[in-house]
Structures are given as C-alpha cells and as structure tokens.
Structure 1
Amino acid sequence: MFDKNELKFDETTKEQILKFSAFLLENDIKEAQIYLSNTSDFIVAFFGGLCAKTTLYLLPNAKFFDDKFSINDANFSSIKAKNKSDKLNLNTDEIFYLLTSGTSGKSKNIQKTLLQMVDEALYLRDKFGICKSDEFISSVSHQHMFGLTFKVFLPLVSGAKIIDGEYNYPEALLALNLKNHTLIASPTILDVLCQHANFEKMNGIKMIISAGASLKNQTRDVFKAKFGIDITEIYGSTETGVIACNKGFGLKKFESVALSVTQKGALVVSSPWCESFETSDSASVDGDDLTLYGRLDRIIKLSEKRVSLEEIELFLLKHDFVDDIYLGMHPEFSRVLALVKLSEVGEDEFRKGGKIAVVNELKRYLKSEYKNIVRYFKVVEKLEKNQNSKLTKAKFHEQFYARSEPKFSLIKSSDEVSIFRAKISVWDFYFDGHFGDFAIVPGFIQLGFALTCAKYLGLSPKNSFSNIKFTKLLRPNDTAELRLTIKNSRVSFEIYANLTLCASGRFDV
C-alpha cells in the first residue's frame, strides 16, 4: 500500500474518488476507457478506477471503442455510488494503459504501473524543488504521458495546485495571471506565444516545462532574452518516462537514469520507473551528456553515410525562407518529401519568383551538406501536429494530398449585390502546377471562385460565361474581393486584387 501522504488529495477529491470507485465495484466493471477534458474529473476517474481494480485505458482523443465501458464528459457526473468505499485501496502494482497517438504508424497500448508514476514524480519533485506553494497551468492534455506526469502526478506528490483547464490557445493562456506559475506546454504553443501581440503577459512566470518534440533554439532564446527564464525541455517517452532534460546547454540525463547504446545505435534506458527498454531513437552518450540523432526509422543512407531527417530539418530551419518543416518519405515514390511552412521572407520570394525560385534556393542551400536528398517540396499553411507537437505519418500523407484553396467570406449582401473576400495564399493548390516561376491565379480558377460564391448564395449557376475580361494579375498574398450583382437570371461578377479590378464577366443561373 502507498503511504497516504505520497498522493496529496484534498478531502473533497478523496470522497469523490471513493464514490467513483464504489460505483465501478457495484457494477462489476473490470475494464474502462477514459477521455475527460477536465483534469479534476480525470483525477477522480483515474484513481477511482485504480481503487476498484478496474483496468484503465487512457485514450489520446475522444474516439471510444465499443468493447469497453466508457468514461467521458457526458456521463462522468452520473458515475458515483450513494455510499463511498471505506478507504483509498491503492497498491503499488496497480496497472493502466496509455494509448499512443501513432506518430510513426499504428497506435499501441503501453502498460504503466502506479508505482512507476509515483517514483518518477517524487524524483522530479526533488529535482526541480516543487513544493506545496507552486501552481501549475498546462496547455497539454493529461491523457498523454507528458501531461499525466507533469500535470497530474507531479502536483499531487508535491501538494501543489493544479489550475483546471487545457489552455492550448495563446489567447486563453495569456488571459490568465501567469505570475509565479509553472507552465506545462508543448513547443508548438511556445513558438506561437513568442509571436503574440500580448507576449509581455508571460512576464513573471516562474518555470516553463516543455516536451513532445524538439524545442527551437530561437524560441528558447526569445524567452531567455525577454523574461530571463530558461525553458526546461524534457526528453522521454510513454514507454520510458523521463530520461533527460535540456536547460539550454544540451541534453543531460537525469541522475537516476542509466543509458547505453546498442550496436545499431539505438538508445537503451533503465531507471527506477522504467525497466531496461530499447528505444527507437539513435543516440550517443558521453557521461551525463546525451546527443540524439533522430528516430532510427527517420535515418536514411546518403552516399553510404547514415543521415537523420531530423538533422536535415534543423539545417533547413536555419534558412530565412523556412518557418517550419517536416521531412518524410513520399507516399508514392522512394524519395524524400518536405512539407514546408514558409516565413514572410519565403512568401515574398514565392511571390517574386514562384515556387520554382523557393525550391531551387532550398535545394542549393542543401546541396553542399546533403546533396539532392530532398526531391519534393510542398508548401503548406502549417504543419498539422498533434497536441504533443508531433506530426503523425497519417497526417503527413493527408497534408500532402490535401488541396488548399481560398476561403471566401461573405462580408456584405443586399438584394442585388453580394461581396466576398479572401486571402490568396502561397499554399493554394493551383500554385503547384501553374506558372511555376511567376505565380498567378489561373483564369479558370478565378471563374471557379465566382461559381463557388454564387452557390453559397443558393444560386444554381450554369457553366457558361460571357464578356470575360482579365485586366490585372491576381497573385500570392493579394486580398481578393469578389462582387456578384444579380439581375433576374443573370449574374455579373467582378474580382478585385487589392481593390484593383482584375477580372469580370457574366453567367446565367
């Protein structure tokens, strides 16, 4: 049994846990799957399930399976017995499962024990000096290992306060009083915060802990220069728990962790909260210093030399054109494909010289170090990473095949005239195959804009145009305004680029 002081539940939470446990016992529920958005509710359900000896499966999202009892936001309040269990019956060998998000392919269940989680949290409490007066705010979910460790177990063993909510939008986070708080956040939201107009509201924050993906040096430097705070970047995994941390001087293994490397270069981890486990990461170890080279499945051969795709991503991120980038194997060819989010400088170059100019420059930049290793480039609005700042293989393929186009919004409407507006973006699909060295929106695409907006108004346009005129080019980063004038069964359209007429014509409905 655990010492009752190790998990510091308040009396209200303890009573809720006991009633929740009693319900599961009374209804003989042997297995349950959990996805709850509220952390306080999650703590009740999680520890109530362990007390009832119910095998728990923590889901990464609200997609439930049919073969297990579900605990969710809709039914949580109804899962409690009138009479509570006698005591918190928690044993060191209680097990539960975390379902991974399937970054490299299919999701899998990882078994964890309560003892592992408590031992890890006690170590982190002492390592970082967390105490009862600390208050935690989080932008990550408790349903994943990072959030479960730092948002649930670390505050519980420290007696610290957990601010309920998952503040995964900058506006929600910056609306809080962050002074003297500890923030648990993904690298993605830290990147966005750096560029936010109200970034100054981060001033006074006590500590920032980040994990899930590599933290950009630029982001670390901005927080350090602005607020004098060193972000604590955690390296670990669902299988291993925490392994090492980086406070700006490279990864240093935690004192209680033992590391070694196999002949093929795979990192092997053992600690009080992890039996010996061979990871999928390529690494080298020098005393307490840990150097990562990327996942083994993201290492490819280049002229008989093994090269990490993550290493190439870091190299490309140094280029002025690149704001974010991810490399993977093309879904149809055995070649490397890059999904790239351009910086403002990159977008300006795209407008000047088209996609060809951008791609040629990035290939030139790569050539001296990595030759022609990246064969294909696709410009995207953003990398659709999950809340752990990881891009899954399925999402990588989905983004490659996606066809982005302008999203026209109706800004004014009367009986006869309707006005729509949209931003023409460098990631719009038609720039991939038309006018590669001087990007313009093709005429037939502009006609399609007119038809799409007419359909939005409930009209049924006929695909025959008259009096078509193109008087100015519509280009990346232009603001397009489309005006439809309806008279009887005839629609006249005008398309403006930054308030200058660039196309007009008529069609019947």
Structure 2
Amino acid sequence: MSERLLELCRALAQRPAHAIVGWRGAQAVGNSAFLHRIAAWHATLAPLPGKNFALYFEDGLEFAAALLAAWQAGKTVWLAADALSVSVAALTPSVDGFVGDFPAHCQPLPATETALATPEFAVLDAGRVALVVHTSGTTGAAQAIPKRLVQMAAEVETLDAAFGSATGEADVVATVSHQHIYGLLFKILWPLVAGRPIHALSQNYPEQLASLLAQRPAILVSSPAHLKRLPEHLGWERNQVRAVFSSGGPLPADVALASGALLGQVPTEVYGSSETGGIAWRRRKSLTDDTWTAFPPVSWRIAEDGSLEVRSPHLFDRTWLRIPDRAEAVDDHGFVLKGRSDRIAKIEEKRVSLDAIEALLAASTLVATVRIVLCEEEAGRRQALAAFVVPTEAGKAVLAAGKLALNRKLSALLRGAVEAVAMSRRWRYLDQLPTDAQGKTTQALLLALLDERPRELAWRELERDASHVKCEAEVPEDLLYFDGHFPDTPVL
C-alpha cells in the first residue's frame, strides 16, 4: 500500500511555498498559506482531551486544513452532511466538539490565529479510525460508518491508478459537497495527494460553472442531479475539460451522452457507497452500454439470490460484504446492475416490493419520476405507503383538474396489480424530487414533505460569500398561515 495519504502533511511541507493548493474565486491559495491554516487548527485541536469532533465547512480548503490538522492531532473526524439542527442533534451525543460553520449554540471551536511555526508532521497510523461518515439515507435512516486511514489511502491510490494519467494537470471543480465520502475523495484527498489545485467552493449555478470551466484545464466532480440540468445554451468550453466524474445515484444513459456532448467528456460514473467505497466505474459509449468495470483491487461475485458481494481494501475489513443491489455478470471483469434487492417492505405481514410499485407508476405517460416510501406507524396512523410523483405534461394537465383526479388515475394503475395493502395512501405531486448537497433524494427529505399542514417555507441556499446569502424559498400551497388569507387568493 502506498503511504502518500499517510505522509500527505510531510509532502506538503516539502512543496514550494508558492505552489498553488487551490482557488477561492480568482484568488490563488498558496502552499504556505495552506500550511499555516493546518498549523492553526492543529494548535486548537492537539491540546484538547476529546477524541471525536464534528467537522463542517462550506469552504473546501478550510475543511481540508482542519481535517488534516485533526488527523495529525490524533482526532477522529465525524463528517456532518450539513449544519441543520436535526443533523447537529444527531451528532451531539457522539462528539466532543464542533469545528466549522456550525450554529453558535454548538460553540464551534475557533482556529488559533497567532503566528505559528509549522508543526513536526507525523506519518499517520494506517489502522486508526480517523473518519466517520454516514450512509446517504436514500433507503432509510442514515447509519454511521467508521473509516480507517488505510481504507482512504487505498481509495486514493485506486483513483489515481485508474484515472490519474488520463486527467493530467488540471484544477478540480465540484458541484457536490466534500462532506460526503464521494466529494471528500474526489474533491479533497485525491487532488491534495496528486498536487492538483482545488476550487474551494462548490459551484451551484450552471453559469458560474461554465465560466469557471473555460478558464483553465479542469476536472469536474459532479452528480446526476447536476448533470441533468446543464443548459444547452451556455457556451461550454469543451477543450478545457479533462474529465467529468459522476456518482451518488444512477446517471441515465441519455443524460450521460448529452452532458458529454456539452462538456467534451462523457462522464465517468463511479459506483459505490459510504460503506463499500468505490466498487466499479463505467464511461458509456452508447445508450445500451450498461456494463460496470470493477476497480482492480475489488473482487466481486454474484450470490445465489442475485445480490452483489464485494471484497476490497476499501472496506473496513477484508471479508465479503453483500450489497443490497442485484447484479448480473457480463464477463470476468464486468457486471450490470438489475435494481435494488432490499426495497421490500412488510405491511400487515405482506411483503411489498417498492421497486415493483415504482415501475408500475413510472410506466404511465402521466409520470416522469416517482419514489415510493414506507411511512412507519405513528400516533393515529397505520403503516402505509406514500408516493412522491413528478408528473409529465400530460400528468400536469390531469392535475389541473385537482389532486384527486390524478390520485384516481394513478391508483387505477395499481389496482389489480398489487394487493390492497400496497396501494399508496398518500400522494405528493412535485415539480422535482428534493435533493441534498450530493444530489441524492433521501428518505428523510421525502418524509419531511408529508407534514399535513406545513408551518415553514422550504429554504434552499443558492450561494453565499462573506457579504451576502442568496436563498430560494418554496411556499407550500397548504401552508398553515394561508388560512383566512384569503379564500380565493392566498397572500401572506
């Protein structure tokens, strides 16, 4: 195993002071300034008796400095997906402190700002648990996943061996957050080890992204949610893009090829999870090219029930791990995925396939996208299914006659094909499915839409800098405070 990640701080200390580590907008951040930030965070964290610290920064360079400092100080970093109150409450019992852009009541630790000498950096202990990430929550509650340094070091080397020579010298630009394992590896750790400059802030607007990609050779780290929404009218600079990566969910074949035409590089899709790390990759050549190629260190096999099993240095241990995905072997090196194997709900002792229900609805000309979620029993409510539907134009035409009209048409598709307990009891019609910073539609985000009478607007941060924050607000049509304001024209 290469020790480049374990010796990263030592390597940084040997690089020229003026070498560019990254960019904040148009301002270059040199190696000397980056090392100073590592030293500042190390001075804060090293004397503290606690071991576990939550970390969240929107700025990727400050995040990287605090992360490396924490590891040098022997701390275990818990990645926070965001700084929302629910996330903070979930982390609080597990950590000894908070570092970064957390609310004031968390008492986030400040970096030591006095002039500091660069500390004597140690080679990190490969076997130590240095990171805790969380599953995305797309199929249930998020679970904490511990990571040893040896796992992350192996992943960095796997990525560099697979893609390093093809990408060459280029800046790393991301539309995804580094607060998840995919962004952490592709946007932070691999670039730092390989010496590629990092753009500190994720790019939320296509216009900003197009402008940035035109300036210098770049690697784009993105997700299906972002690649689906690339406007064709923007002047994409195809010659500057060295590679495009996508992970976090399935990338439709037509989107892969269309985004490749815009950007000059068909996205390299990476298949894996928080628990498994990277498993396989593919770069489509046609609409029917569905085969995944396993990374060289990854062994795989198909279990008797069709589930995929993997074993690799990216795992916490080297035993075989069953993945809740069905797969079919193409040859000794590749496989195709055949859908989830764990989306079976048990309702009133009946086994119900959520995938099957979604497939029935998705086949309708009224439905563009659909997700089915099991709502567990709660006070006054039985266990039941909820459907979250993005209607097509035809579906919107039906919806114009009222929600009940579309409910009836979609329920009719299920009636006779599924048992009564598998009929959706709750329907929500959306312009698009909600996504988190990784572009994933999680169960928690969907369930949050089921409040009978919402009392809050749905806020989404679009951009932020030192002087302003720009947000978008979605106002639910059944907002409680519309009552009486006014019967024909809701106004607040």
- 1:461 is matched with none
2:71 is aligned with 1:59: no
SS of residue in 2 equivalent to 1:176: helix
SS of residue in 1 equivalent to 2:119: coil
Partner amino acid, structure 2, of 1:247 = R
Relative distance call for 1:401 and 1:264 in structure 2 (3 A) is: farther
One of 78, 83, 107 as aligned partner of 2:112: 78
- 1:350 is matched with 399
TM-score, length-scaled by structure 1: 0.70
Partner amino acid, structure 1, of 2:311 = S
State the Cα distance separating 1:158 from its structure 2 match. Answer: 1.9
Partner amino acid, structure 1, of 2:309 = V
One of 104, 120, 129 as aligned partner of 1:95: 129
2:310 is aligned with 1:269: yes
Partner amino acid, structure 2, of 1:129 = G
Q: Is the 8 A contact 2:97 2:109 kept in 1?
A: no
State the Cα distance separating 1:161 from its structure 2 match. Answer: 1.7
State the Cα distance separating 1:326 from its structure 2 match. Answer: 0.9
Whole-angstrom distance in 2 between the partners of 1:3 and 1:197: 40
**Larger relative contact order (CA 8 Å, sep ≥ 6):** 2
2:219 is aligned with 1:182: yes
Relative distance call for 1:5 and 1:446 in structure 2 (3 A) is: closer
- 2:153 is matched with 118
State the Cα distance separating 1:448 from its structure 2 match. Answer: 2.7
State the Cα distance separating 1:191 from its structure 2 match. Answer: 1.7
2:77 is aligned with 1:40: no
State the Cα distance separating 1:185 from its structure 2 match. Answer: 1.2
Whole-angstrom distance in 2 between the partners of 1:223 and 1:265: 32
State the Cα distance separating 1:237 from its structure 2 match. Answer: 0.9
TM-score, length-scaled by structure 2: 0.73
One of 292, 301, 309 as aligned partner of 1:260: 301
Whole-angstrom distance in 1 between the partners of 2:373 and 2:435: 14
Matched ranges for 1:122-161 at <5 A: 122-130=157-165, 133-161=169-197
Q: How many residue pairs were aligned?
A: 420
CA displacement 1:209-249 (0-9 Å, x = unmatched): 11111122332232245455322221111111101123222
State the Cα distance separating 1:387 from its structure 2 match. Answer: 1.9
State the Cα distance separating 1:371 from its structure 2 match. Answer: 8.6
Whole-angstrom distance in 2 between the partners of 1:28 and 1:265: 48
State the Cα distance separating 1:391 from its structure 2 match. Answer: 3.0
Relative distance call for 1:5 and 1:111 in structure 2 (3 A) is: closer
Relative distance call for 1:355 and 1:198 in structure 2 (3 A) is: same
Partner amino acid, structure 2, of 1:2 = E
SS of residue in 1 equivalent to 2:450: helix
Q: Is the 8 A contact 1:186 1:387 kept in 2?
A: no
One of 342, 346, 354 as aligned partner of 1:309: 354
- 1:282 is matched with 325
- 2:372 is matched with 327
SS of residue in 2 equivalent to 1:276: coil
State the Cα distance separating 1:339 from its structure 2 match. Answer: 0.4
Matched ranges for 1:334-345 at <5 A: 334-345=383-394
Matched ranges for 1:375-414 at <5 A: 375-376=424-425, 377-403=427-453
- 1:415 is matched with none
State the Cα distance separating 1:252 from its structure 2 match. Answer: 2.5
SS of residue in 1 equivalent to 2:213: coil
Unaligned runs of 5+ in 2: 16-30, 102-107, 458-473
My pick for the range that moved more, 111-120 or 315-324, is: 315-324
State the Cα distance separating 1:46 from its structure 2 match. Answer: 0.8
Q: Is the 8 A contact 1:20 1:80 kept in 2?
A: no
Q: Is the 8 A contact 1:22 1:80 kept in 2?
A: no
SS of residue in 1 equivalent to 2:92: coil
Whole-angstrom distance in 1 between the partners of 2:435 and 2:270: 18
TM-align CA RMSD: 3.8
2:45 is aligned with 1:24: yes
Relative distance call for 1:446 and 1:59 in structure 2 (3 A) is: closer
Whole-angstrom distance in 2 between the partners of 1:45 and 1:168: 23
- 1:50 is matched with 71
State the Cα distance separating 1:169 from its structure 2 match. Answer: 3.6
2:469 is aligned with 1:448: no
State the Cα distance separating 1:260 from its structure 2 match. Answer: 2.6
Whole-angstrom distance in 2 between the partners of 1:71 and 1:301: 41
- 1:441 is matched with none
- 2:141 is matched with 106
Partner amino acid, structure 1, of 2:391 = L
Whole-angstrom distance in 2 between the partners of 1:389 and 1:53: 32
Q: Is the 8 A contact 1:184 1:208 kept in 2?
A: yes
Partner amino acid, structure 2, of 1:387 = A
Unaligned runs of 5+ in 1: 408-423, 431-443, 457-509
CA displacement 1:295-322 (0-9 Å, x = unmatched): 44313599xx988534654665465433
SS of residue in 1 equivalent to 2:46: helix
Task: Choose 1 or 2 for highest CA Rg.
Answer: 1
CA displacement 1:434-465 (0-9 Å, x = unmatched): xxxxxxxxxx9884355x64xx5xxxxxxxxx
